[in-house]
Chain A
Amino acid sequence: MLAGVKEITKDDLLEEVQKLAGENWRLISITGTDTGSGIDLIYHFDQELTLLNLRFQIDYGETIPSITPYYFCAFVPENELKDFLGVEVTNLPVDYQHLFIISELTPVKIPLLRKAAGDDAGEVKPE
């Protein structure tokens, strides 16, 4: 299993992040996974090569607070979450409106959601 995981809840997030920001941890990234019953979020932090993962689950369509007040750089992974998993983030300072990495021409909206993959989600044969 994943090392250095700390299970938290959505309400604790800002408090925990504020504590880490005070201790000079570096935000690596935020990973979101569609588990089938909701979205699993992992916030990766690093300090002197030690990895710390804050983890919590949310339901589809639930919003999460932005951690940009403590880590401005979080707007990049948060915009990614919006693009790929459709997670709405409140108080984003730089909001790309779902067009950070994917564009209007992308055929599948919110591509990493399971239901977006559709019924034909078998093995793909590249064209």
Chain B
Amino acid sequence: MFEMLNTILKNLFSGPVTRPYPAQRREPFASTRGQIKSVIENCIFCMRCQAACPANCIVVDRKEQTWSVDPYRCIVCGMCVEVCPTEAIIMNRHYRDPVKHREPIVKHQEGPIPKINPKAKGIN
């Protein structure tokens, strides 16, 4: 009986555990894998991300200088980020926003392909 009273009092004087969601959002943790973002200026079109992607969602076209990802096929495993020698793909910690139409994200690079030494980062 007193145990119950204890619980009732505790519940009366403590706030809710949940958050009023759309008004107040929890920041994702620093290491959360939310979505991949391309920094196309750094891209040297080495095709490593395309080869490493387990979901086959990345298509790199060296001739056209385009890099595209199908975000609805992407499983956000982070393999492309790991293999990228020039940090042209980065992991963003915020989840992808909902959209009305499914479209791949296509990035086009202007000008000549940058000469960045892939060994600079020490990967591969």
Q: Once A and B bind, how many residue pairs between them come within 8 Å at the CB atom?
A: 4
- Range for the number of chain A residues in contact with chain B: under 10
> Which residue of A is nearest B73, CB measured?
A126
B52 to chain A minimum Cβ distance, whole angstroms, is 14
B55 to chain A minimum Cβ distance, whole angstroms, is 7
> Quick check: is B32 within 8 A (CB to CB) of the other chain?
no
Interface of B is mostly: loop
> Which residue of A is nearest B55, CB measured?
A126
A116 to chain B minimum Cβ distance, whole angstroms, is 23
Contact partners of A126 in chain B: CB under 8 A: 55-56, 73
> Which residue of B is nearest A125, CB measured?
B56
Residue-wise interface mask of A (24-61) relative to B, using a CB-CB cutoff of 8 A (1 in contact, 0 not): 00000000000000000000000000000000000000
A16 to chain B minimum Cβ distance, whole angstroms, is 41
Contact partners of B73 in chain A: CB under 8 A: 126
> Which residue of A is nearest B57, CB measured?
A126
Residue-wise interface mask of A (110-127) relative to B, using a CB-CB cutoff of 8 A (1 in contact, 0 not): 000000000000000110
Q: Which A residues fall within an 8 A CB radius of B? A: 125-126
